Amino acid sequence: MKVLVIGSGGREHAIAKQFNDSPSVTNVYVAPGNDGMKNDAECIGIDATNFEALASFAIEQRIDLTFVGPEQPLAEGIVDFFTDKGLLIFGPTKAAAQIEGSKSFAKEIMSKYDIPTAAYGTFTDAEEAKAFIRQQGAPIVVKADGLAAGKGVIVAMTIEEALHAVDDMIGNQRFGESSSRVVIEEFLDGEEFSYMSFVHDGQIYPMVIAQDHKRAYDGDRGPNTGGMGAYSPVPHIPEHVIEEAYKTVVVPTVRAMTEEGVPFTGILYAGLILTNQGPKVIEFNARFGDPETQVVLPRMASDFGEFMMALMNKEPFELTWHDDAMLGVVVASDGYPGDVVNGAQLPDLTKLNGVDVFHAGTKADGDHFIGNGGRVLLAAAKAKTLEEAQTQVYNKLNEVEWNGFFYRTDIGWRAFQSK
């Protein structure tokens, strides 16, 4: 089969590589892709939101399945467009993608169908939002309602910080239309984990869970980022908690979307937190997480292409996973997540042999790569235990110089601290 992957980041590199490693798949194309993916896919110079050109390519090349990576083309309706052309594509419709594209939509679904989540209020008026914050106190969470590239969430530890976030989002329109409305939530304390599922026409195939590290610096300090590393499994989240999350969050959400007239097909990403009252939803995404994809998908033992076609054709399939652990560390450009310094030369990446390298923001420059974005790449190792995986990946990262880049040195620390 021939597969087209939409997107250009580390997540899409992991998706393309998983397809490329599948015996059932003969050709993998990525649009637009990036220079570092070329060993795993053929990159096509078409933007992820140029639906007409993408669909034409899929028709001309007789693509069997298109798989959408990032949120923007989903929010803009790529699935609807492809489906109208008679093309098989995996992802939610524009209406169903609201579960990520509008936090207020997601909260209303959870409230209506008793899906456990934080108490909240939704506001378009800054003064009303501030009054709510003063009434609730801190810590408190302020979220831009719409898409904000993973940067629209402020966990405010003081009332002043929360008030500033409201001014920044509603007053200064920091994220444009996406922050004209804000959702303000109670702060939930507990251990976070990412629980993703393949969903189509009521069928649910849950994946193994992962844990992301959002803060920029060691010890979970510094600003929130799109993610500085991840690992799977998450040993300090018990199996019974995962089962509870499946029953109280995943299944009811899939049913709720159908009942609301917006049935969900795609990756349902549940960002969860284990509280004293059990697992609760922090957020939903309508696609694979990044960097969780890079540590979850390589643990799949089944043929990815074969599984995806069975899912889309509603045929039974036994999806299996490796027991091995996977731990990945993001290398980011200096300045990330603020003013990123692009153009620094990366070290010789062939010296990272023995670990998987997923390219996100790299660009070929002669016989080497340069940084071309905030998060540049993720280096990941698979091993029998998380400790072994962590040792392997850091040994490799420490063997080369990363001038102009940085990475956290403690990815996985929560798993080890819990032992």
Mean pLDDT within 209-231: 94
β partners of residue 3: 28, 65
Over the chain, what is the mean pLDDT? Answer: 95
Tens digit of each residue's pLDDT (9 = 90 or more) over 320-331: 999 999 999 999
Confidence at 227, pLDDT banded by 50, 70, 90: very high
Give the CATH number of domain 119-186; options: 3.30.1490.20, 1.10.10.60, 3.40.50.150, 3.40.50.450: 3.30.1490.20
Mean pLDDT within 247-272: 98
Confidence at 418, pLDDT banded by 50, 70, 90: low
Q: How large is the C-alpha radius of gyration of the chain? A: 21
Q: Are 129 and 123 in contact (CB under 8 A)?
A: yes
What are the start and end residues of each CATH 3.90.600.10 domain in the chain?
A: 325-417
Tens digit of each residue's pLDDT (9 = 90 or more) over 168-212: 998 888 888 888 889 899 999 999 999 999 999 999 999 999 999
pLDDT of residue 179: 83
Mean pLDDT within 309-337: 97
Mean pLDDT within 140-164: 86
Q: Are 199 and 183 in contact (CB under 8 A)?
A: no
Q: Are 87 and 63 in contact (CB under 8 A)?
A: yes
Tens digit of each residue's pLDDT (9 = 90 or more) over 32-70: 999 999 999 999 999 999 999 999 999 999 999 999 999
Q: Are 193 and 283 in contact (CB under 8 A)?
A: no
Does residue 132 surpass a pLDDT of 70? yes
Does residue 150 surpass a pLDDT of 70? no
pLDDT of residue 175: 85
Q: How many CB atoms lie within 10 A of CB 219?
A: 10
Does residue 223 surpass a pLDDT of 90? no
Say which residues have a Cβ less than 8 Å from residue 383's Cβ, sequence separation at least 6: 324, 325, 389, 392
pLDDT of residue 342: 92
pLDDT of residue 321: 98
**Cα–Cα distance between 283 and 289 in angstroms, integer?**
12
What are the start and end residues of each CATH 3.40.50.20 domain in the chain?
A: 2-91
What are the start and end residues of each CATH 3.30.1490.20 domain in the chain?
A: 119-186
**Cα–Cα distance between 315 and 405 in angstroms, integer?**
46
Does residue 155 surpass a pLDDT of 70? yes
Joined tokens for residue 155: 């966990």
- Give the CA distances from residue 19 to residues 3, 22, 38, 83, 309, in Å, rounded to whole numbers and listed in that order: 8, 5, 14, 22, 12
Give the CATH number of domain 325-417; options: 3.90.600.10, 3.60.70.12, 3.20.20.70, 3.40.47.10: 3.90.600.10
Does residue 108 surpass a pLDDT of 70? yes
Fold of 2-91: Rossmann fold (3.40.50)
Tens digit of each residue's pLDDT (9 = 90 or more) over 262-300: 999 999 999 999 999 999 999 999 999 999 999 999 999
What are the start and end residues of each CATH 3.30.470.20 domain in the chain?
A: 191-312
pLDDT of residue 419: 60
Q: Are 332 and 225 in contact (CB under 8 A)?
A: yes
Q: Report the percent of the chain where pLDDT is more than 90.
A: 85
CATH of domain 191-312: 3.30.470.20
